[in-house]
């Protein structure tokens, strides 16, 4: 491809709103263009990356016997009512009505549509096991679209669905898929972990997520390499042994003025104590308008999945607003505490050993110090309600151990769904003995745009993106350095090399734009082309050209005769 034929614009600066490096570099390198919140156009350079990535995914899916299909993005609401998700999915599901006033939605995922398809395609035991997959655009009306294509509203996903007679067959395909995903991430040279996950809104029995490790990741993973353990912290049960005994003697309960010290940080700083000395009281909405208080140590965080198990609490978990707290329940958020609090309370198990703690006094600008359970506050039910963190002891079925944590970007998710959808869609086949059997299902998703962004998060430098060779927009770029006297000669030589590489099936671009060499070098580095070939009069006079790999600092010279060997074998 001649770069002069591509409408490619690069930028020195990223827009201020770009929070993470992949978003900044994708925008600067002219890979994507923002249309509106969470909506992006893939530009010519960017789409080359996406198409290569899709092909890697496609190859791996085909290798495990996946059949590619393409389902519609617009889906009838009736199917979502049949699965029960029309009411469960919440505002991420973008709903609309067609001209005949029928309910529709834009597909955030395709379990319903593929189940409808399976109902007609799969009739006999001979039709299964089978796996369908598609690479298609999804829409989720994310509450906070951010990080560019990593959390957008419209995004490309490869989603696959498998159908089986029994759980053993499901397990086999699940493991094939697990290996295919592992191969995809290895082909992209990503550093990743496979972690135990929660099945979330999709539902089902067993699931694992594929996380690319990066500080910008929105998820926290707890892991212990020795025990070959990795799990999303939201799924981790904390062992009782992690709670240290505390033998402090009870001090005298004392009221303290804490004007404007509403946050735990401000309060702990003001009182000169660690955040772990503060008992935080959070008020959540209940069903029937009854608020529910959760008490947790100041340095810990609520795990919504655990808190949502509390009887009568509203799902998804939602804090009450400042206005409702004040007007409906006379609560001053920031100064709420368990002393004399008249609403139902639950406490995280790790607060049980707290002694002489600080908590709100349910009056503006007041807290108490030296509060103690039983003497001052009746014991609430203690439950495991918090998110695991580094240093916590984890309890598995067989053993307990300490975990470390790392941040991860969830790029893929594989589920054993079981019969959730096959039951609501009556997916039955006739078995060998003529009996009717309900199918069991698996589903498997991998985000194409998020995967591309993850590659950038893991590999970049001050000059730009460092793509793995397999998905760079071009593998090689040729840059001729010309002046008005040698222009024809250098361009002729450059095009000779260009056509030679094309004849060898190398994905090569030639930078024939009317730009200074410095700008061409900068653009090639920014967009992350793995191999750069520079032709100059001085080197050509010696029969040589300069080669530079994007992920190395130094360039080197080779004889033109060695080009094929150097490029094709690198
Ligand atoms: P998250 O927890 O990050 O919202 P999810 O659990 O909702 O992800 P799945 O429903 O498992 O995601 O979707 C499968 C894959 O689709 C994810 O692993 C991710 O790669 C991709 N994906 C999901 N939501 C988005 C989004 N808003 N933008 C881009 N990719 C997404
Ligand atoms: Mg999501």
User: For residue range 88-131, what is the model confidence (pLDDT) as tens digits?
Assistant: 999 999 999 999 999 999 999 999 999 999 999 999 999 999 99
Q: Could you tell me the pLDDT band of residue 35, with boundaries at 50, 70 and 90?
A: very high
Angle at 174 between CA 171 and CA 176, to 5 degrees: 110
- Ligand in closest contact with the CA of 137: 1
Residue 42 pLDDT greater than 90, yes or no: yes
Span 454-462, mean pLDDT?
A: 98
pLDDT tens-digit profile of 242-267? 556 778 899 999 999 999 898 999 99
For ligand 1, pick from 89, 206, 410 the residue to mutate: most ligand atoms within 8 Å of CB: 410
| Secondary structure, 3-state, 35-93 | EECCEEEECHHHHHHHHHHHHHHHHHHHHCCCEECCCCCEEEHHHHHHHCHHHHCHHHC
Question: Tokens 């490029």, residue?
Answer: 567
Q: What's the gap in Å between 95 CA and the centre of ligand 2? A: 17
Residue 400 pLDDT greater than 90, yes or no: no
Structure tokens at 182: 């592992």
| Ligand 1 atom 4 nearest Cα | 151
Span 423-427, mean pLDDT?
A: 97
Please report which residue ranges of 462-536 form alpha helices under DSSP H.
Answer: 487-503, 517-527
Ligand 1 nearest-atom number relative to CA 140 = 27
Span 520-549, mean pLDDT?
A: 97
- Ligand in closest contact with the CA of 140: 1
- Ligand in closest contact with the CA of 445: 1
DSSP state of 542: T
Residue 567: what pLDDT? 87
Q: What's the gap in Å between 223 CA and the centre of ligand 1? A: 21
Query: pLDDT over 70 for what percent of the chain?
Result: 98
Residue 244: what pLDDT? 66
Residue 240: what pLDDT? 63
Give the whole-angstrom CA distance, residue 444 versus residue 417: 10
Residue 141: what pLDDT? 98
Nearest-CA neighbor of 451 among 276, 214, 120? Answer: 214
Q: Is 332 in contact with 326 (CB distance < 8 Å)?
A: yes
Helix (H, G, I), strand (E, B) or coil at 443: strand
Q: Could you tell me the pLDDT band of residue 395, with boundaries at 50, 70 and 90?
A: confident
For ligand 1, pick from 40, 142, 157, 454 the residue to mutate: most ligand atoms within 8 Å of CB: 157
- Ligand in closest contact with the CA of 447: 1
Span 560-567, mean pLDDT?
A: 91
For ligand 1, pick from 447, 451, 455 the residue to mutate: most ligand atoms within 8 Å of CB: 447
Residue 561: what pLDDT? 93
Q: What is the mean pLDDT of the chain?
A: 95
| Ligand 1 atom 13 nearest Cα | 445
> Count of CB atoms within 10 A of residue 435's CB?
10
Residue 67: what pLDDT? 98
Q: What's the gap in Å between 109 CA and the centre of ligand 1? A: 10
**Domains in the chain with CATH codes:** 19-236+405-456 (3.30.930.10), 254-383 (3.90.960.10), 476-569 (3.40.50.800)
| Ligand 1 atom 27 nearest Cα | 151
Q: Is 341 in contact with 293 (CB distance < 8 Å)?
A: yes
Q: Could you tell me the pLDDT band of residue 343, with boundaries at 50, 70 and 90?
A: very high
Ligand 1 nearest-atom number relative to CA 202 = 10
Ligand 1 nearest-atom number relative to CA 145 = 27
Residue 506 pLDDT greater than 90, yes or no: yes
Q: Could you tell me the pLDDT band of residue 444, with boundaries at 50, 70 and 90?
A: very high
For ligand 1, pick from 444, 445, 448 the residue to mutate: most ligand atoms within 8 Å of CB: 445
Residue 569 pLDDT greater than 90, yes or no: no
Residue 202: what pLDDT? 52
Q: What's the gap in Å between 92 CA and the centre of ligand 2? A: 9
Q: In Å, how far are 170, 223, 299, 354, 407 from 182, measured between CA atoms?
A: 18, 18, 36, 44, 19
Ligand 1 nearest-atom number relative to CA 209 = 18
399 versus 105: the higher-pLDDT residue is: 105
Contact residues of ligand 1, CB 6 A cut-off: 109, 140, 142, 150-152, 155, 157, 200, 202, 410-413, 445-447, 449-450
Ligand 1 nearest-atom number relative to CA 142 = 27
Residue 371 pLDDT greater than 70, yes or no: yes
Distance of CA 258 to the CA centre of its chain: 39
* Residues forming a β-bridge with 138: 155
Ligand 1 nearest-atom number relative to CA 445 = 14
pLDDT tens-digit profile of 187-217? 999 999 999 987 655 555 789 999 999 999 9
Q: What's the gap in Å between 148 CA and the centre of ligand 1? A: 13
Ligand 1 nearest-atom number relative to CA 153 = 27
> Residue 155, exposed/middle/buried by CB under 10 A (0-12, 13-18, 19+)?
buried
Helix (H, G, I), strand (E, B) or coil at 227: coil
Give the whole-angstrom CA distance, residue 370 versus residue 252: 6
> Residue 462, exposed/middle/buried by CB under 10 A (0-12, 13-18, 19+)?
exposed
| Ligand 1 atom 2 nearest Cα | 410
Residue 201: what pLDDT? 52
Q: What's the gap in Å between 141 CA and the centre of ligand 2? A: 10
Q: Is 377 in contact with 354 (CB distance < 8 Å)?
A: no
| Ligand 1 atom 12 nearest Cα | 413
Structure tokens at 30: 């002219």
């Amino acid at each position: 491809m001649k770069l002069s034929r591509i409408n490619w614009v690069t930028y020195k600066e990223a827009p201020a709103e770009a929070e993470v490096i992949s978003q900044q570099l994708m925008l600067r390198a002219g890979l994507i263009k923002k249309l509106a919140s969470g909506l992006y156009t893939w530009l010519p350079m960017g789409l080359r990356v996406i198409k290569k990535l899709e092909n890697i995914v496609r190859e791996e899916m085909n290798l495990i016997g996946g059949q590619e299909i393409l389902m519609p993005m617009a889906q009838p609401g009736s199917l979502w009512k049949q699965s029960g998700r029309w009411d469960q999915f919440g505002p991420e599901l973008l709903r609309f009505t067609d001209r005949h006033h029928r309910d529709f939605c834009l597909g955030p995922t395709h379990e319903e549509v593929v189940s409808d398809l399976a109902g007609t395609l799969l009739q006999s035991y001979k039709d299964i096991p089978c796996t369908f997959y598609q690479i298609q655009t999804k829409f989720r009306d994310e509450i906070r679209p951010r990080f560019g294509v990593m959390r957008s509203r419209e995004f490309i996903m490869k989603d696959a669905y498998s159908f089986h007679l029994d759980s053993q067959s499901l397990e086999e395909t699940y493991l094939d898929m697990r290996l295919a995903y592992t191969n995809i991430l290895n082909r992209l040279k990503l550093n990743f972990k496979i972690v135990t996950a929660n099945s979330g809104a999709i539902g089902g029995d067993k699931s694992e997520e594929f996380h690319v490790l990066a500080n910008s990741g929105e998820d926290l993973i707890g892991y212990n390499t020795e025990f070959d353990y990795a799990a999303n912290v939201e799924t981790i049960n904390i062992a009782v042994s992690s709670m240290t005994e505390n033998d402090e003697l009870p001090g005298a309960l004392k009221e303290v003025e804490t004007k404007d010290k509403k946050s735990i940080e401000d309060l702990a700083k003001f009182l000169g104590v660690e955040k772990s000395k503060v008992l935080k009281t959070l008020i959540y909405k209940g069903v029937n308008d009854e608020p529910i208080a959760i008490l947790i140590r100041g340095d810990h965080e609520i795990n919504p999945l655990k808190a949502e198990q509390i009887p009568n609490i509203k799902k998804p978990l939602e804090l009450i607003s400042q206005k409702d707290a004040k007007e409906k329940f006379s609560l001053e958020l920031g100064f709420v505490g368990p002393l004399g609090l008249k609403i139902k309370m639950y406490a995280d198990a790790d607060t049980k050993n707290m002694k002489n703690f600080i908590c709100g006094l349910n009056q503006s600008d007041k807290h108490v110090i030296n509060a103690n359970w039983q003497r001052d506050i009746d014991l609430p039910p203690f439950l495991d309600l918090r998110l695991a963190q580094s240093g916590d002891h984890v309890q598995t079925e067989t053993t307990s151990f300490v975990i470390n944590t790392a941040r991860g970007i969830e790029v893929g998710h594989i589920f054993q769904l079981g019969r959730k959808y096959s039951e609501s869609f009556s997916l039955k086949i006739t078995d060998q003995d003529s009996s009717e059997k309900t199918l069991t299902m698996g589903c498997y998703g991998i985000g194409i745009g998020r995967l591309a962004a993850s590659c950038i998060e893991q590999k970049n430098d001050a000059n730009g993106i460092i793509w793995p060779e397999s998905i760079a927009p071009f593998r090689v770029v040729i840059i001729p350095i010309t002046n008005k006297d040698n222009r024809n000669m250098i361009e002729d030589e450059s095009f000779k090399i260009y056509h030679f590489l094309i004849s060898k099936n190398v994905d090569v671009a030639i930078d024939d734009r009317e730009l200074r060499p410095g700008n061409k070098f900068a653009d090639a580095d920014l967009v992350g082309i793995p191999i750069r070939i520079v032709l100059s009069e001085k080197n050509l006079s010696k029969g040589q050209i300069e080669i530079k790999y994007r992920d190395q600092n130094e360039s080197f010279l080779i004889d033109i005769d060695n080009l094929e060997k150097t490029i094709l074998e690198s």
